[in-house]
């Protein structure tokens, strides 16, 4: 299988490439159904992963919405998928909240707090009660591999104001609802944590590293203290995957 990865050279792309290399080189043997022969940044492959770009430009949210419309246009998305990969009409669109993980040097809240605390710098003025919604890069990669193996998590995003099962609140337009026949795909491992807790966890990690000499580097995923036990299945499929 040849996999094409398109997008700006950021920490998301780097993490995906390194994980795919581990599968290709036999270091990761948990994905026996993913047989990788080449990882490319151009050309036509069996799978294409198209990553967001330009996240620092103004009006980025509206630009992402326009890209979704473009991809969902029947004539255009078939043309796109056939150009990028041998996938026919198998196009998957992921809507992702903030993505966090190693090698993230952006100015997003989580990496900014981690850098400030690790370097004994003054923290920015933030509401510690504010809830941050994020997915970790490892979880996103696992989801993309699930999709390559033929079992993505499908969902819908009800429009803002749509009544929800909770009679006291409506959908906000950002919350996914699992639906096997949904228009979108999602990474189900979404975490919601307050800024105060992020600061607390990271201070604990930095003190622990300094005391015990941990070499974990910039592993600010101390916020991500979870264990996962997944039963992986095969059933290969060819997809063109868009992450917005």
pLDDT tier, 78 (very low <50, low <70, confident <90, very high otherwise): low
Answer whether residue 131 shows pLDDT above 60: yes
- Cα distance between residue 171 and residue 114, in whole Å: 32
pLDDT of residue 60: 57
Answer whether residue 222 shows pLDDT above 50: no
Coil, helix or strand at residue 35: coil
Per mean pLDDT, which range of 38-42, 95-99, 233-237 is the poorest?
A: 233-237
pLDDT, one tens digit per residue, over 83-128 is 555 554 567 888 888 888 888 888 888 888 888 888 888 999 999 9
pLDDT, one tens digit per residue, over 148-197 is 898 999 999 888 888 888 877 788 878 889 999 998 899 988 888 889 98
pTM of the model: 0.78
* DSSP one-letter string for 83-136: HHBS-TT-EEEE---EEE-TT--SSSHHHHHHHHHHTTPPPP---TT-EEEEEE
What share of the chain in percent tops pLDDT 70? 69
Instruction: Calculate the CA dihedral of residues 54, 182, 227, 106 and round it to 10 degrees.
Output: 10
- Cα distance between residue 135 and residue 139, in whole Å: 7
- Cα distance between residue 180 and residue 69, in whole Å: 21
| Residue of 137, 148, 142 whose CA lies nearest to 36 | 148
pLDDT of residue 153: 93
Name which residue leads in pLDDT, 237 or 14. 14
| The CATH number of the domain covering residues in 2-153+188-243 | 3.40.50.720
Per mean pLDDT, which range of 35-44, 66-75, 97-106 is the poorest?
A: 66-75
């Amino acid at each position: 299988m040849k996999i094409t990865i398109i997008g700006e050279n950021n920490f998301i792309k780097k993490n995906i490439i390194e994980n795919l290399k581990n599968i290709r080189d036999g270091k990761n043997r948990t994905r026996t159904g993913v047989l990788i022969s080449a990882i490319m940044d151009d050309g036509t492959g069996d799978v294409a992963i198209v990553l967001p770009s330009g996240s620092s430009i103004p009006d980025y949210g509206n630009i992402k919405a326009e890209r979704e419309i473009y991809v969902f246009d029947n004539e255009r998305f078939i043309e796109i998928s056939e150009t990028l990969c041998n996938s026919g009409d198998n196009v998957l669109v992921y809507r992702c909240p903030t993505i966090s993980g190693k090698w993230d040097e952006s100015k997003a809240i989580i990496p900014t707090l981690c850098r400030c605390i690790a370097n004994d710098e003054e923290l920015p003025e933030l509401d510690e009660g504010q809830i941050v919604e994020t997915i970790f890069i490892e979880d996103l990669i696992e989801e993309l591999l699930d999709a390559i193996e033929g079992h993505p998590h499908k969902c819908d995003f009800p429009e803002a104001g749509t009544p929800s099962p909770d009679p006291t609140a409506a959908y906000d337009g950002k919350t996914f609802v699992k639906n096997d026949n949904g228009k979108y795909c999602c990474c189900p491992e979404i975490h919601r944590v307050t800024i105060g807790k992020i600061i607390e966890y990271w201070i604990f990690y930095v003190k622990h590293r300094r005391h015990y000499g941990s070499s974990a580097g910039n592993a600010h995923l101390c916020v991500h203290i979870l264990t996962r036990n997944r039963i992986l299945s095969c059933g290969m499929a060819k997809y063109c995957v868009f992450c917005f």
